């Protein structure tokens, strides 16, 4: 049997096996497996209900395997299933009673906030502040310095776009989002601006970018390698970080726990408790 599978979403990827309960968009069913190894990073996995069968026999064998329906997934879908179904000690529901004071409106709110952002690239200074605008830049004559909620130009040679780094939250179908800025080449910047209102912009290829926001919750995040994926209209680019050992990259590719969400909220909001 081939070791790879052609996934409609992720293309060709490693073939993996899970119980059929874990296929699809299910959440919170548990995710059981042997310890991953270098030779087998995605060992066969099964939900908590199927784990009852496994534990009754202390292993899988020819008899009890007949009681379980198996589904083939690509390695990326497997990882998504792991993130959604792994049980955690703290859940998002446990955080619903958190109260916090908003920096912007100074009002008190209750519940979880899953989105933090930066208004400008780290390189934007006081001298450029007076050049803020609201409309996209004019391609016929790009300004030397420019900033609005989506685009930024500094010194006539550095180009940035605002986008989102998504961190899947383990045990849920929710996503925590860092609103950040990434650099683009002038060519890609102009291409994105040109297609800004074009529904077919989703056909644009991924654009190489350097992360241009410093996120205080991590070791230095400046100049992490990533790619900007241009989504449908009214949505900001989605940044895909290069897989590395940096904590932000690990959380982007493998997820964060609700407890980590609470930690981030505590650091970034007023009077969380």
pLDDT in tens, 197-213: 999 999 999 999 999 99
Q: Of the ranges 125-129, 136-140, 179-183, which one carries the lowest mean pLDDT score? A: 125-129
Give the Cβ contact number of residue 202 at 10 Å: 13
**pLDDT on residue 128:** 62
Give the Cβ contact number of residue 96 at 10 Å: 10
What is the rounded average pLDDT of the residues 121-126? Answer: 87
Helix (H, G, I), strand (E, B) or coil at 138: coil
pTM over 0.85: yes
Rounded percentage of the chain residues whose pLDDT exceeds 70: 93
For residues 175 and 162, is the Cβ–Cβ distance under 8 A? no
Work out the pLDDT band at 98, boundaries 50, 70, 90. Answer: confident
Question: Which helix (H) or strand (E) element contains residue 57?
Answer: helix 48-57
**pLDDT on residue 140:** 74
For residues 267 and 260, is the Cβ–Cβ distance under 8 A? no
Total number of residues shown for the chain: 273
Whether the pLDDT of residue 134 is over 70: the answer is no
């Amino acid at each position: 049997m081939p070791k790879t599978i052609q996934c409609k979403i992720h293309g060709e990827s490693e073939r993996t096996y899970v119980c059929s309960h874990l296929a699809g968009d299910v959440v919170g069913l548990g995710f059981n497996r042997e310890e991953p190894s270098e030779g087998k990073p995605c060992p066969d996995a099964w939900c908590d209900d199927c784990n009852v069968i496994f534990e009754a026999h202390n292993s899988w064998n020819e008899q009890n395997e007949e009681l379980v329906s198996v589904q083939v997934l690509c390695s990326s879908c497997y990882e998504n299933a792991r993130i959604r179904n792994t049980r955690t000690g703290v859940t998002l529901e446990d955080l619903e009673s958190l109260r916090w004071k908003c920096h912007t409106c100074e009002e008190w709110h209750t519940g979880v906030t899953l989105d933090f952002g930066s208004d400008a690239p780290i390189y934007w200074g006081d001298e450029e502040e007076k050049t803020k605008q609201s409309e996209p830049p004019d391609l016929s004559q790009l300004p030397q310095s420019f900033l609005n909620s989506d685009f930024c130009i500094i010194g006539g040679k550095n180009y940035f776009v605002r986008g989102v780094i998504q961190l899947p939250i383990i045990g849920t179908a929710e996503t925590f989002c860092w609103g950040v800025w990434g650099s683009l080449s002038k060519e890609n910047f102009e291409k994105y601006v040109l297609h800004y209102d074009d529904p077919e912009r989703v056909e644009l290829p991924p654009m190489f970018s350097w992360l241009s926001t410093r996120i205080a919750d991590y070791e230095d995040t400046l100049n992490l390698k990533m790619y900007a994926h241009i989504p449908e209209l009214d949505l900001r680019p989605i940044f895909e970080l290069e897989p590395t050992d940096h904590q932000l990259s690990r959380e982007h590719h493998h997820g964060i726990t609700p407890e980590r969400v609470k930690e981030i909220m505590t650091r970034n909001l007023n009077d969380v408790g």
